[in-house]
Structure 1
Amino acid sequence: MSEFSISDIGLKVGLEIHQQLATNKKLFCNCKPIESEEYSIKFQRKLRAVKSELGEYDPAVLFEKLKSKTIVYYANSESSCLVEQDEEPPHNLDNDAKDLALVIATSLHSKIFNEIYPMRKTVIDGSNTTGFQRTMLISQGGQIEVDGEKVGIQSICLEEDAAKLLGDKGNIREYSLDRLGVPLLEIALDPVEGDSKKIKKIALSLGRLLRSTKKVTRGIGSIRQDVNVSVKDGGGVVEVKGVQQLDQLEKVVEFEAKRQFGLVKIAEKLRNSDFEGISKRENIFDITENWKSCKSKIIQKALKDNSIIKAIKIENFSGMFGYTPFEGIRLGKEIGQLVKFYGIGGVFHSDELPNYGIEEDDILIVRNILKVNQNDAFLIIAAPSSKIDFAINSIINRLEEAKKGVPAETRLATQTGETVFLRPRPGASRMYPETDIPPISITNQELENATKNIPKSWDESLLELQKKYELNSQLSEQIFDSRYIELFEKIVGKIKVNPTFVASILCSTITNLERNGLNSKLLTEENIVKSFQLLAEGKIAKESIEIIYESIMSGKSQTIDEALRNASIETIDEVKVEEIIVDVIEKNQEIVKNQKERSIGPLMGIVMKELRGKVSGEIVNNLLLKNIKKKLGNI
């Protein structure tokens, strides 16, 4: 397998930032975006593809139609109304969202249009009940400066956020409407050359500018990056959707660079081979009857489900499915991901057989039917009759595209930073005018107000935070970039507690517990605020907070009181603490005699093991030192 440097492959990355705006209401109604797990309303839809004004079908829409999903929606009257259910026309555009969009566009020196035209963007994956997303182009052009380099802005749009996916299994896909219609700002940047660290820094800088307005939502899912990636001689541009964290963004860019350059290598090898293509008439064979004796559990399940099994002969393609220019990059893997999005479990190819319970006798049957020689390859696919031909057409098209390099497609980012096939790239046919909302004029007064409300720069905001709460520069940066900045200011504004300690708990303690696999979503703001109230009232020690959070984030407790009971935490007075310390010193006289005052280290560990969460480490330290000195004076 080869090695490569990102600087040598002509990597270009264009970021699209999607940021929820904290207007506390949705874009075209007054519903509040309150997330809930209790739904009083349930209904379902089947969405279908329609032609654009030009009489054309969008390729991404057609691809989604082939899945033939039934969409089930769950709603709560607190967070959605008839607008979200598509039973009532949209209300007027939310002025707060529009004003904030103008402020951000002005901050980025982007040219705002005098008139805004709401458009419909066709989306039939079920994420919008209407079958389209409402979007408005606010401005074009502009720039953001990152490390002295100006990065151009292509466009800024104000649009509706999508519904939240709850589940996708078989022919049923489920969404909740809590998030549908929340105002979302999309900022598309010019493509830039550079490595993943540079791209991460650009995303961070833009995110900080948005957060400086103090009017955008925080937390996982509130800001998402779509990444358009291409490499030199690759061919198509790949859009990667669903990147929610900066570390994930860095990994996605690195993976796509490797994947796309690997596809370029595969294309070079194919162009130097005798592979010419696949004949749908001559190279596809139904082997359902021939494989009824195959012992593979996968094949037997397919037969039981009345699936059809077909084999595709690919002349002069031997070894190409398994060819691995870079670790994890193979054409066989690409094809496997492609068919999964038709609801098909996968495909078998000749480079990986015998395997999966498919034996040499089964392969021999296929080779005889297809009349393949040692230079040929073949694919086996099992699927319902309603899907198999669509899937085979997609496979044939994908193999023929493999000679060109990287196909233009939309992919989904995984949590590990890889990407998987999602759908073909959409075209211009998906956009058409919104007929329920008239054009929106932007007045000179609104533009003047936007200029007056440009937020402070990130550096200024950080310095202000640092001075106001006497934080060091590192902690100021961490709390400003975190999802807890508003909560931090609420706590230190209302409760008499050390701001540095609060910031450290929110930025470090919770993060460390998350890294250990615990769920921070279980830790409500109410619980966090109450923990600091108890600390300020002297009812718990500083050390108790981590124990409480660990109990709640692990699911063992739901409330602070329950966590205190489960962890047997209760404060004890200094008299009792001193009794315990004297007892520990008596039991460890040899350590005190040999190490003298340095014995405070090992003894501290022994005492805190017994008193953890019941008294502060500072009190224990002072009482230990006092009693060690007293003991040494008596020796």
Structure 2
Amino acid sequence: MTHDYEDLGLVAGLEIHQQLDTASKLFCGCPTERREPEESVRSFTRYLHPTKSELGELDEAALEESRVDREFEYLSFDTTCLVEEDDEPPGRLDAEALETTLEIAALMDCTVVDSAHVMRKIVVDGSNTSGFQRSTLVATDGEIETEDGSVGIADMLLEEESAARIEEHDGGVTYGLDRLGIPLVEIGTKPDISSPEQAREAAERIGMLLRSTGKVKRGLGTIRQDVNVSIEEGARVEMKGVQSLDDIDDLVEGEVGRQVALLEIAAELQTRDAAVAEPTAVTEVFAETDSGVIAGAETVFAVRLDGFDGLVGREIQPDRRLGTELSDHAKRHGAGGIFHTDELPAYGVTEAEVAALREAVGAGSEDAVALVADDEATARRAIDAVADRAEIAIDGVPEETRGANENGTSRYLRPLPGAARMYPETDVPPVEPDPSDVEVPELLTEKVERYQTAFGLGSGLARQVAYGRHMPTFEMAIERGADPTTAASTLESTLTELRRDDVPVENLTEEHLLSVLELVEAGELANEGIGPVLTELAEDPRLSATEGIEAAGLAGVDREKVRETVVEVIERNEAQVREEGMAAFSGLMGECMGALRGKADGEVVSELLREEIGKRSD
């Protein structure tokens, strides 16, 4: 469905979280490389609980998180230190991370703060061993440009990345400490975005500026986008964990549609004088049930939703209904989900049981009933959460934090956090950032233009190189005298082809790539041999580039040896040469290169082949 976003009063903003590619973590000297869970050397467990802020307040999001009693397991590695395990105070703010953040601030025309104070932000979902995340405001009041107008940058923070969630299981969650503490820059825009398309363009622009520094990590999970969306009669909703830029406009559009649908439901509920009754136990109604889920439960609780009949099952997003929203809240409190009368009888629940359920809670024909089946404590918490969410449905759209789904929809995560979860970090002294020495890096868009004009690259290849992860290697190769086109095609095309052929290109170091390109420039390796040599180096990274040439059987041949091969090919095809003359060149060139197997440069082969054909055509 297409919406008139201006008429609806759409207001959106972005929060971009980007990992920085520094040598050390933000508050300790541990490396920032990721590890595999099976590499862990030990583990330990913690239980986390919320604490009051300096004002004596408890954050609502942290409080809800704490209502689910969970054990958190942390995997430590041979690179994990006591700071990461929260057994030692943090060190000073990493200077390299701060310098990179100041570069990013300059690219976005931000004003740098006079004094940067580290703050503690309470998080009790287990993603930090300490129970809080350290965050530092570095800059404010910036701006970026989009086709639909400028978008303000409200704030830029430098903070520590959370621990990586490995798996969730009964009773708890397992995290890996390899990611915890990686420097992370958080960029929050002002609510200046007025369409899904502008949201995506703004995110793309910020991403380009971040990559222009050459000092941010690349790859899945290294950048995350959160999107804040509201419409005039709706509420501010924060959608977390948007992994792909391609999803942003779909998510904004989907959230607008969800809020419109919830407002329509609220209007109808108000017309019906809807209300929510007190939850009650209805276990006896299902004493003889054939429903597997309910039969295996200790207790069944139900809540009567006056005036909700037919609305609990109404779709608000593709494959998501008001009942799905209620179910999200039940799941948040440990239950597997809910049943409701808009979808019953089904799932083994009979018509007779539905009638008995309605009678047990006093539901009339215009009422709906939602139920939860689980152990008594879980079922009680879950049905109370369902009742609370149903109450809100009568009023309209709740402010909340939601998780982005892959299909452009979203699910409830927790209430919106507030200021009550922030308080000063006493273990790390403030710093005074000095932006005067910061050099503003060349933008990627400017690099594309330079690569075209200075190096003669086509627009497509120039963009691939500038925006690709091997851009710094390309720049270094040019400094060492490599041919720009050869370097660009090697880094963007050859490596991609090798990866598709399951060659472990991740084993190739920058020095491998630069050395191979230097040998090509020196005439010791033909362009055609680059792929085979890189394959050998990827299979055995201990080899030097010269050893890779030998392993690939591509030790170069001199000019006379090339001529001998060319003559042999011509003599095998003597009749064709006599008949076609120079027109036979293309076919014979391929045969020559195949016979030489990349041991000779194509230009040399071409020159000698033309010469020898000419001799026989005169």
Shift of 1:497: 7.2
Give the superposition deviation at 1:246: 1.1
Q: Which residue of 2 aligns with 1:132?
A: 132
Q: Letter of the aligned partner of 1:296 in structure 2?
A: S
1:128-162 CA distances to partner (integer Å, 9 max, x unpaired)? 11000111112221212234832111111111111
Distance 2:333 2:167 in 1: 16
Structure 2 residue matching 1:197: 3-state secondary structure: helix
Could you say which residue in structure 1 is the equivalent of 2:435? 447
Aligned to 1:328: 319
Helix, strand or coil at the partner of 2:130 = coil
C-alpha change, 1:142 and 1:604, in structure 2 (3 Å) is same
| 2:275 paired with 1:292 | no
Q: Distance in 2 between matches of 1:542 and 1:362?
A: 75
Instruction: Look up the equivalent residue of 1:277 and give its one-letter code.
Output: A
Q: Confirm or deny: 8 A CA contact 1:166 1:174 kept in the other structure.
A: yes
On the 8 A contact 2:274/2:305 being kept in 1, the answer is no
Aligned mates of 1:229, 1:439 — CA distance in 2: 33
TM-score, L = length of structure 1: 0.79
Query: Runs of 5+ in structure 2 lacking a partner?
Result: 544-551, 577-582
Give 1:255 deviation, angstroms.
Answer: 2.1
Post-superposition Cα deviations, 1:520-571, rounded to whole Å, max 9, x if no partner, equal 9x7515289868977957699579689979xx9xxxx99999xxxxxxx998
The 5 A counterparts of 1:305-344 are 306-324=297-315, 327-344=318-335
Provide the C-alpha distance between the structure 1 equivalents of 2:508 and 2:418, rounded to a whole number of angstroms. Answer: 46
CA contact (8 A) 2:105 2:111 kept: yes
Instruction: Report if the CA contact (8 A) 1:488-1:502 is conserved.
Output: yes
SS in 1 for 2:31: coil
**2:34 maps to what in 1?**
35
| Pair 1:200 & 2:191 matched | no
Residue of structure 2 aligned with 1:415, choices 406, 415, 418: 406
1:593 aligns to what? none
Q: Distance in 1 between matches of 2:489 and 2:498?
A: 13
* Structure 2 counterpart of 1:62: 63
Match of 2:241 in 1: 242
Distance 1:158 1:428 in 2: 18
Task: State yes or no: 1:403 paired with 2:394.
Answer: yes
The alignment of Structure 1 onto Structure 2 pairs a total of residues equal to 589
> Where does residue 546 of structure 2 map in the other structure?
none
Aligned residue for 1:253, secondary structure, equals: helix
Distance 1:99 1:173 in 2: 35
The answer to whether the 8 A contact 2:122-2:132 is kept is yes
Relative to the length of structure 2, the TM-score reads 0.81
| Partner SS state of residue 508, structure 2 | helix
Residue 510 and residue 427 in structure 1: after superposition, are their counterparts in 2 closer, same or farther (change >3 A)? farther
Quickly say closer, same or farther: Cα 1:342–1:225, change in 2 above 3 A: same
Q: Secondary structure at the match of 2:285?
A: coil
RMSD: 4.4
The answer for the alignment partner of 2:449 in structure 1 is 463
Q: Give the SS at the match of 1:198.
A: helix
| Residue identity in the other structure for 1:255 | G
Query: Partner residue of 1:25?
Result: 24
Any residues of structure 2 matched to 1:426-445 within 5 Å, and which? 426-442=417-433
Is it true that 1:526 corresponds to 2:508 in the alignment?
yes
- Are the structure 2 counterparts of residues 243 and 324 from structure 1 closer, same or farther at C-alpha, using a change threshold of 3 Å? closer
Question: CA distance change for structure 1 residues 343 and 513 in 2, over 3 Å: closer, same or farther?
Answer: farther
Q: Which residue of 2 aligns with 1:46?
A: 47
Aligned mates of 2:571, 2:103 — CA distance in 1? 64
**Residues 99-142 of structure 1, C-alpha deviation per residue, up to 9 Å, x if partnerless?**
33233323333222222221110011111110001111122212
Match of 1:454, SS?
Answer: coil
Aligned equivalents of 1:389, 1:560: Cα separation in 2: 61
Contact 1:509–1:546 (Cα < 8 Å) also in 2: no
Decide whether the 8 Å contact of 1:161 with 1:180 is kept in 2: yes
Residues 321 and 331 in structure 1, CA contact (< 8 A), matched pair in contact too: yes
Q: Mark the CA change 1:458 to 1:559 in structure 2 (over 3 Å): closer, same or farther.
A: closer
Query: Contact 1:19/1:185 (CA < 8 Å) preserved in 2?
Result: yes
Distance in 1 between the 2:44 and 2:351 partners? 50
1:411 CA displacement: 1.2
SS at match of 1:192: coil
Question: What is aligned with 1:266?
Answer: 265
TM-superposed deviation, 1:409: 0.9
Residue 344 to residue 547, structure 1, CA distance change in 2 (3 Å) = farther
C-alpha displacement of 1:241: 1.3
| 1:87 aligned residue | 87
| Corresponding letter in the other structure for 1:61 | A
**Structure 2 Cα separation of the partners of residues 413 and 504 of structure 1:** 37
Quote how far apart the aligned CAs of 1:397 are: 1.5
Structure 1's unaligned 5+ residue stretches are 562-568, 590-596
The residue that corresponds to 1:9 in the other structure is 8
Change (3 A) 1:604 1:83: same
Secondary structure of the residue aligned to 2:165 is strand
Alignment-mate amino acid for residue 382 of structure 1 = A
Give the Å deviation of 1:58: 0.8
C-alpha contact (below 8 Å) 1:108/1:143 kept by paired residues: yes
Report what 1:210 is aligned to. 210
CA distance in 1, matches of 2:571, 2:349: 72
* Larger CA deviation: 112-121 vs 463-472: 463-472
Could you say if the C-alpha distance between residues 345 and 493 of structure 1 is closer, same or farther in structure 2, counting changes exceeding 3 Å? farther
The amino acid of 1:56's aligned partner reads: E
CA distance in 2, matches of 1:155, 1:482: 28
C-alpha distance in 2, partners of 1:512/1:388?
A: 54
C-alpha contact 1:84 1:181 (8 A) present in aligned 2: yes
Following superposition, the deviation at residue 384 of structure 1 comes to 2.4
The offset of 1:425, in angstroms, is 0.7
Aligned to 1:135, the other structure's residue is in SS state strand
Distance 1:344 1:448, change over 3 A: same
Q: Quick one: distance in 1 between partners of 2:128 and 2:468?
A: 30
1-side partners of 2:53 and 2:396: how far apart? 30
CA 246–560 in structure 1, closer or farther in 2 if over 3 Å, else same: farther
SS in structure 1 opposite 2:327?
Answer: helix
Amino acid at match of 1:125: D
Distance 1:271 1:390 in 2: 26
Bigger mean CA offset, 413-422 vs 87-96: 413-422
Alignment check: 8 A CA contact 2:24 2:182 kept: yes
